[in-house]
């Protein structure tokens, strides 16, 4: 074969390779439509909403305005002035019949008024049904008229490399669509939320996208966009979304029980390291959460769990590391029965447990005083950097309740009420018999005094 024939043969081979690629992805319209996400987006964008909130913020222009005598002398209003603070975010309709909208908790946090604008331009007043700050999910309700919901996917089936689309309201720009892929799964340790198991994506997510949907190419909801990693304040291709399975679990608790009451298990776990793999005589490549400690009398202790056990499944779902287990437990409600598959001494064992109530024995604050209505209170021996002292622990506090307006927050420990030392619920009731004017409590590592106005 002469050189000319060789060149001709190579050219023919190249044409055979190039032509099919061109036919699979046409560069001209002709008789075939170009690939487009438009048909899918036309179906789901009616389920995406814009969320605006208004918060009334107290303002005091000068220190003298805080002096009641000064205000009386110059006949100034007793109430401090207020200004309206607005914020914008996104949301997604997940139940058209009930008017349920999922968004981030931080989008509506401290809002005095929440308004939802639908894709067809209607502006509706929304009611907050409940929220979980630890996972950063909130559930709103709007009038259920002519709404369209988005279908949900199973986010546990996502894979790195899957194509995804983010829709939202970045910088106040309505209905903006960006696309990308799933860059990573199970991201944690970012310090963004209490429980982290994020989907990472390079689809552009910017301020205002929070609470909006992350969808797959079938138009199914796979996540709720929640945060970006942006050293300079802009998008750098690293965004995070809460998996829809987590969001749906929180939504279900709010709908069924009016809120989220997270149970306790009583086991401390850590990731499996090469050193632990060898020390526990586990096979190379083993995955799971290693039990490093058990709280005495806890649900974990009653189930028979031991330090050194490797938890490999919870309710038949694989556990790859400590984050998987902690996230799964965080989605369970008080009283739920669970099964654990653990490896111990080379043998697989199945243990059963019941998620415990962290506030068992606490009472409704309204039985103590009307000013504590909306909080759960219980006797504790408080151990902190301030020492070990008996006091009254504050459990969950309903937002905008009497207890909330009095300044109480979950995790507080009360030591004095009306300058009287309180160690028991009975002592608290006696001290608050004629009302509550002053409370001294521990909040974190600080002592705080609350004074009623």
Q: Which of 136, 202, 309, 412 is catalytic?
A: 136
Catalytic residue list contains 309: no
Whether 95 maps to a domain, the answer reads yes
Whether 16 maps to a domain, the answer reads no
412/343 same-domain check: no
147/166 same-domain check: yes
Whether 27 maps to a domain, the answer reads no
Catalytic residue list contains 106: yes
Domain boundary among 354, 382, 397: 354
Which residues lie closer than 8 Å to 82 by C-beta, 6 or more apart?
56, 57, 58, 59
Whether 307 maps to a domain, the answer reads yes
Per residue in 293-342, pLDDT tens? 998 888 999 999 999 899 999 998 889 888 888 888 888 888 889 999 99
In this structure, what DSSP letter does residue 365 have? G
Longest dimension (CA), the chain: 111
Closest CA to 225 of 329, 106, 312, 332: 106
Q: What percent of the chain has pLDDT over 90?
A: 40
Whether 390 maps to a domain, the answer reads yes
Catalytic residue list contains 100: no
173/239 same-domain check: yes
130/251 same-domain check: yes
Q: What is the pTM of this model?
A: 0.72
Whether 18 maps to a domain, the answer reads no
Q: Which domain holds residue 327?
A: 267-354
Which residues lie closer than 8 Å to 377 by C-beta, 6 or more apart?
362, 363, 365, 368, 392, 393, 394, 395, 414, 425, 428
Tokens of 207: 């301020």
207/254 same-domain check: yes
Residue 25 — very low, low, confident or very high, per pLDDT cuts 50/70/90? Answer: very low
Per residue in 193-203, pLDDT tens? 667 788 999 88
Q: Which of 155, 210, 369, 406 is catalytic?
A: 210
Number of domains in the chain: 3
Whether 58 maps to a domain, the answer reads yes
Tokens of 245: 């399975």
309/425 same-domain check: no
Whether 432 maps to a domain, the answer reads yes
Domain boundary among 336, 354, 372: 354
131/166 same-domain check: yes
Q: Which of 87, 105, 106, 369 is catalytic?
A: 106
Closest CA to 138 of 178, 107, 165, 159: 107
Q: Are 136 and 106 in contact (CB under 8 A)?
A: yes
């Amino acid at each position: 074969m002469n050189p000319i024939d060789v060149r001709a043969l190579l050219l023919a081979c190249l044409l055979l390779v190039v032509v099919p690629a061109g036919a699979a992805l046409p560069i001209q319209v002709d008789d075939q439509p170009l690939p487009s996400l438009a048909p899918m987006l036309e179906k789901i964008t009616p389920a995406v909403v814009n969320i605006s909130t208004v918060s009334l913020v107290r303002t005091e222009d000068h220190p003298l305005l805080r002096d009641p005598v000064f205000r009386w002398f110059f006949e100034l209003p007793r109430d401090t002035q207020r200004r309206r603070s607005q914020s914008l975010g996104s949301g997604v309709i997940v139940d058209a019949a009930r008017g349920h909208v999922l968004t981030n908790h931080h989008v509506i946090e401290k809002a005095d008024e929440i308004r939802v604008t639908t894709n067809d331009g209607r502006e509706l007043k929304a009611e907050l049904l409940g929220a979980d700050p630890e996972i950063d999910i909130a559930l709103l309700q709007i009038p259920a008229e002519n709404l369209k919901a988005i279908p949900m996917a199973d986010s546990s089936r996502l894979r790195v490399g899957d194509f995804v689309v983010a829709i939202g309201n970045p910088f106040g720009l309505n209905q903006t669509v960006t696309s990308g892929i799933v860059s990573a799964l199970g991201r944690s340790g970012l310090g963004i939320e209490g429980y982290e198991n994020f989907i990472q994506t390079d689809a552009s997510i910017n301020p205002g996208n929070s609470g909006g949907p992350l969808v797959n190419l079938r138009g199914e909801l796979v996540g709720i966009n929640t945060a970006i990693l942006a050293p300079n304040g802009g998008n750098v291709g690293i965004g995070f979304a809460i998996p829809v399975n987590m969001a749906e679990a929180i939504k279900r608790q709010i709908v069924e029980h009016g809120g989220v009451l997270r149970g306790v298990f009583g086991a401390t776990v850590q990731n499996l390291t090469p050193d632990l793999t060898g020390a526990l005589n586990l096979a190379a490549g083993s995955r799971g959460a290693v039990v490093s400690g058990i709280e005495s009398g806890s649900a974990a202790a009653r189930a028979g769990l031991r330090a050194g056990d490797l938890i490999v499944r919870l309710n038949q779902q694989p556990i790859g590391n400590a984050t998987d287990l902690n996230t799964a437990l965080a989605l369970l409600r008080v009283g739920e029965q669970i099964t654990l598959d653990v490896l111990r001494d080379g043998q697989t064992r199945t243990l059963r447990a019941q998620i415990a109530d962290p506030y068992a024995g606490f009472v409704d604050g309204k039985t103590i005083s009307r000013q504590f209505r909306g909080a759960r209170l219980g006797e504790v021996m408080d151990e902190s950097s301030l020492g070990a002292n008996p006091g009254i622990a504050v459990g969950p506090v309903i937002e905008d309740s009497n207890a909330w307006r009095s300044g109480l927050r979950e995790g507080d420990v009360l030591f004095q009420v009306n300058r009287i030392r309180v160690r028991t619920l009975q002592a608290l009731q006696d001290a608050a018999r004629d009302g509550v004017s002053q409370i001294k409590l521990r909040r974190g590592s600080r002592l705080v005094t609350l004074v009623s106005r």
